[in-house]
Amino acid sequence: MRCFVCQSDEFHQISLNQNLLDASDFCEVGATIIGYSYVLTTCKKCGHSAIQTDNPCLLPTRKYDFVKYGEPIEHYPKVSLILRALNLDLDNISIHTFSYKDFQLANFLAKDLAISDVNLNDHAGCSDDWLPVNSSDGIKQDPLPLERLINEINKSDKSHQLILITRFFDHVANHDLLQKILRLNSPTRHIVFDLNDYERLFELGTLEFLWNERRNLFRRSHLESILQKYNLKYLMFSYESHEVSPTLTGVISERLKQSPNSSAVDVTKLSAPHLVEKLIALRQRWQDKLTMSHKLGIIGASHKGVSLAQFVLDSQVKYSLHDDKEALKGKTPPVAPPLGFHSVSGFDFSEYTHIAITTTLVIAAKKIPKLRASGYTGEILDFDGRKLD
């Protein structure tokens, strides 16, 4: 594997674990699922951090369709203002979504900009849709979701197309796929994207953003370097709220004025985020907290709860996994909790010495008083092993 940013093949690295399933891989009881090895890497040359694996999936999105999350909307007006400044003929433009996560933004822009041609399609699908495909004569083919997206855009009878592509850059695991998406940009095609702002996340001192379905932890300068290599004009801004982690949103368009940095970013001068060392320290912190006699309840079966179990906790830890989502009832999680997978509501945690709440802080603030009111007296911690109350 080579670095997505500078193509170097020299890394600092640490194993996340072997035989891991995708963190969203909740499945029906008895289903046969293949596990893969995952390694957290930091490029020695440019400091770009990524998760490398023998999993052939080109774009880890989600394994199944039964859990969907809403997206924050605070930044939508700013996106709309940027698009207005492009001076497009709004009566002659179509909107195309890559994922269901783009539906909210598409509907907002359609209303705010009075765009009538809106194509709400979930081309991203699930991870199985992004496995490599070869023709009968062995020639590599584009994955079907990519073909469907491109065909839809090509069939538009409008003079301009607006392509919304959420949470792509940090999930894409293949250079060719990244290149094909970026090449959708043209004088008549405009792309709106977002991804986690890993620059800010690194500064927050947490590792809860690590997830084996996120393959590239792009810092802003690294992403800008890639966009500039393709001679793309872009405008990028960051935002965060109490409901969402720091996020980068951007617009790629030939109609933009010159990008903020006209010369290529020298990414080799960026300092490394030291994620390998931080993961070693986090594993030790949890190991110091939990002995063989302790019991840990992990509340939140999203990627943070699963990731804590997959590659932070020692294999000997006695833990259970908990979530109240109706859609997860009766499903088998992508980890095998020694103490089982249960709901949160009505569960008796009285014999547990520790609880880790891996939800958002907003949800945690609601759950902690209920736990204390039930008589629970043990430690309540976050993903990073820090006390929450």
Lowest mean pLDDT among 7-16, 179-188, 253-262, 315-324: 253-262
State pTM to two decimals: 0.92
Average pLDDT, the chain: 91
Q: 49-53 and 36-43 as β-strands: parallel, antiparallel, unpaired?
A: antiparallel
184-207 mean pLDDT: 94
- Lowest mean pLDDT of 240-249, 254-263, 358-367, name the range: 254-263
Residue range 101-123: mean pLDDT, rounded:
96
- pLDDT grade, residue 361 (50/70/90)? confident
CATH of span 76-269? 3.40.50
Q: What percent of the chain has pLDDT over 70?
A: 94
67-105 confidence digits (pLDDT tens): 555 667 889 999 999 999 999 999 999 999 999 889 999
pLDDT for residue 26: 87
What's the pLDDT score for residue 262?
46
User: Does this chain's domain 76-269 share its CATH topology with 274-389?
Assistant: yes
pLDDT digits (tens, 9 = 90+) for 329-358: 888 999 999 999 999 999 999 999 999 999
Question: Which residues lie across from 65 on neighbouring strands?
Answer: none
Strands (E), the chain: 11-20, 27-28, 36-43, 49-53, 93-97, 117-119, 133-134, 140-141, 160-166, 189-196, 216-217, 234-241, 244-252, 295-299, 318-322, 331-332, 341-342, 354-357, 379-381
For 210-232, write each residue's pLDDT tens digit.
999 999 999 999 999 999 999 99
Q: How confident is the model at residue 136 (pLDDT cuts 50, 70, 90)?
A: confident
Domain boundaries along the sequence of the chain: 76-269, 274-389
Mean pLDDT to the nearest integer, 189-198: 95
What CATH number does the domain located at 274-389 have?
Answer: 3.40.50
**pLDDT tens digits, 250-305:** 999 999 987 665 455 566 666 778 999 999 999 999 999 999 999 999 999 988 99
* pLDDT confidence of residue 260: 64
Residue 47 falls in which region: left (phi positive, over 0), alpha (psi -120 to 50) or beta: left
What's the pLDDT at 69? 59
pLDDT value of position 314:
95
